[in-house]
């Protein structure tokens, strides 16, 4: 097999697993309140900043070992970003629960503008970065060249799948997960049965933000740089992944993320890097036109 193809496959899988993590936030929120959370891309951007800040803070305390550093940063980023998710729901969604259909969409766009500008003002408009933490790579000989898989990429794949596994466990086996599923199926009925659906919706936002935080840390580890505008493009792509897999379905989000990541990496390997965003966005438009229910989703039927 072609060396470039395999190399791009590896790149695509790492990128795709991260897209999948962010897509979970879109898919869960959509599943539970039937709305697109436009501010989710910005939550990811915030978490990228938070992870760099966490790393810098921990490093300044003299923490040297990689596992401790990563674990501490992850804990910090996930907690603070989760709180962001909670605050966003509290400000932009909860007061509008009984409002017009457009109102929450517009207020979410407002939130995403606020978050972008607020980070730009407080951190400056320039690109930020972190040093490489994990050096080295596996090299597998293929034909004449090498297939290079850096340790960072391996770490990302492992961490992303661990995160997804943890989430699946939470949704499948815990009390909170059961309440989430009940609320997703029928909010009114769940309320009648004694579930505090407002609290469940808050938790869904927190979980989505936490997954985005994991993604933010992982992408920052891989690319090393980010800026205040990073959330916009990644947000649309993660949404594409969520739609591709079937919005509302958790395995769909993960699958969609992987497929989108691989497709995009192959496109930039074979055709052209300049147009890789155009490719992803066109894919989004095409999926919505030809298969709006996605790969694993069920077609939506409007009921009165």
Partner 1 sequence: MAEPSLDIRQPLLDSLLAGLIALVVFGPIVGVVLDGYSFHLESSRVAWIVGAVMLGRFLLSLFLHSAGGRGWLQRLEGGGAGVQVLPPEHRSHLRWLLPLVLLAAVVFPFFAGKYLLTVVILGLIYVLLGLGLNIVVGLAGLLDLGYVAFYAIGAYGLALGYEYLGLGFWSVLPLAALMAALAGALLGFPVLRMHGDYLAIVTLGFGEIIRLVLNNWLSFTGGPNGMSVPAPTFLGLEFGRRARDGGVPFHEFFGIAYNPNLKFLFIYVVLLLTVLLVLYVKGRLVRMPIGRAWEALREDEIACRAMGLNHVLVKLSAFMLGASTAGLAGVFFASYQGFVNPTSFTFFESALILAIVVLGGMGSTLGVVLAAFMLTVAPELLRSFADYRVLLFGMLMVLMMIWRPRGLIRISRRGFARRPGVAP
How many residues sit close enough to partner 1 to count as binding (CB under 8 A)? Answer: 72
CA torsion angle 182 183 189 195 (round to 10): 90
CA-based max dimension of the chain:
66
Q: Work out how close the CB of 36 gets to partner 1 at its nearest, in angstroms, rounded to a whole number.
A: 5
Tell me: does residue 111 bind partner 1 (CB under 8 A).
yes
Long-range interactions of 284-288: CB distance < 8 A, separation 24+ = 284/236, 284/239, 284/240, 284/243, 287/240, 287/243, 287/244, 288/243
Q: Work out how close the CB of 279 gets to partner 1 at its nearest, in angstroms, rounded to a whole number.
A: 9
Q: Among 113, 165, 189, 271, which residue sits at the site for partner 1 (rule: CB under 8 A)? A: 113
Query: Considering only residues 260-289, where is the footprint of partner 1 by CB under 8 A?
Result: 274-275, 277-278, 281-282, 284-285, 288-289
C-alpha to C-alpha distance for 171 and 19, rounded to whole angstroms: 20
Query: Considering only residues 152-211, where is the footprint of partner 1 by CB under 8 A?
Result: none
User: What character string, x for contact with partner 1 (CB under 8 A) and - otherwise, covers 210-239?
Assistant: ----------------------xx--x--x
Token readout for 13 is 């899988």
Q: Work out how close the CB of 233 gets to partner 1 at its nearest, in angstroms, rounded to a whole number.
A: 8
Which 8-state DSSP code applies to residue 89? I
Contact 5, 266 (CB under 8 A): yes
Query: Of 61-69, 126-134, 159-167, 201-209, which segment contacts partner 1 by CB under 8 A?
Result: 126-134
Tell me: does residue 71 bind partner 1 (CB under 8 A).
no
3-class secondary-structure state, position 165: helix
Q: Among 18, 33, 43, 52, which residue sits at the site for partner 1 (rule: CB under 8 A)? A: 52
Query: Of 6-14, 118-126, 191-199, 253-261, which segment contacts partner 1 by CB under 8 A?
Result: 118-126
Tell me: does residue 301 bind partner 1 (CB under 8 A).
no
Element (H, E) at 19: helix 3-33
Contact 245, 265 (CB under 8 A): no
């Amino acid at each position: 097999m072609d060396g470039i193809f395999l190399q791009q496959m590896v790149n695509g899988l790492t990128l795709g697993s991260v897209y999948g993590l962010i897509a979970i936030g879109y898919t869960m929120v959509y599943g539970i309140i039937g709305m697109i959370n436009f501010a989710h891309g910005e939550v990811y951007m915030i978490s990228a900043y938070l992870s760099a800040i966490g790393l810098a803070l921990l490093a300044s305390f003299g923490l040297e070992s990689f596992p401790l550093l990563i674990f501490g940063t992850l804990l910090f980023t996930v907690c603070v970003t989760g709180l962001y998710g909670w605050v966003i729901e509290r400000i932009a969604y909860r007061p509008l629960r009984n409002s017009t259909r457009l109102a929450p969409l517009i207020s979410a766009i407002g939130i995403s503008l606020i978050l972008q500008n607020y980070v730009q003002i407080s951190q400056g408009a320039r690109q930020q970065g972190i040093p490489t933490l994990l050096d080295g790579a596996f090299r597998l000989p293929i034909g004449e060249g090498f297939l290079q898989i850096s340790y960072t990429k391996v770490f990302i794949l492992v961490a992303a799948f661990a995160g997804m596994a943890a989430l699946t466990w939470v949704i499948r086996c815990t009390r909170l997960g059961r309440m989430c599923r009940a609320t997703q199926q029928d909010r009114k009925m769940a309320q009648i049965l004694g579930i505090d659906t407002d609290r469940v919706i808050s938790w869904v936002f927190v979980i989505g933000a936490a997954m985005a935080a994991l993604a933010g840390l992982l992408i920052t580890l891989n690319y090393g740089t980010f800026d205040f505008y990073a959330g916009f493009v990644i947000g649309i792509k993660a949404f594409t992944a969520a739609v591709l897999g079937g919005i509302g379905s958790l395995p769909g989000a993960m699958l969609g993320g992987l497929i989108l990541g691989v497709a995009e990496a192959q496109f930039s390997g074979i055709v052209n890097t300049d147009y890789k965003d155009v490719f992803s966005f066109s894919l989004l438009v095409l999926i919505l036109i030809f298969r709006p229910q996605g790969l694993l989703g069920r077609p939506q039927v409007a009921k009165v």
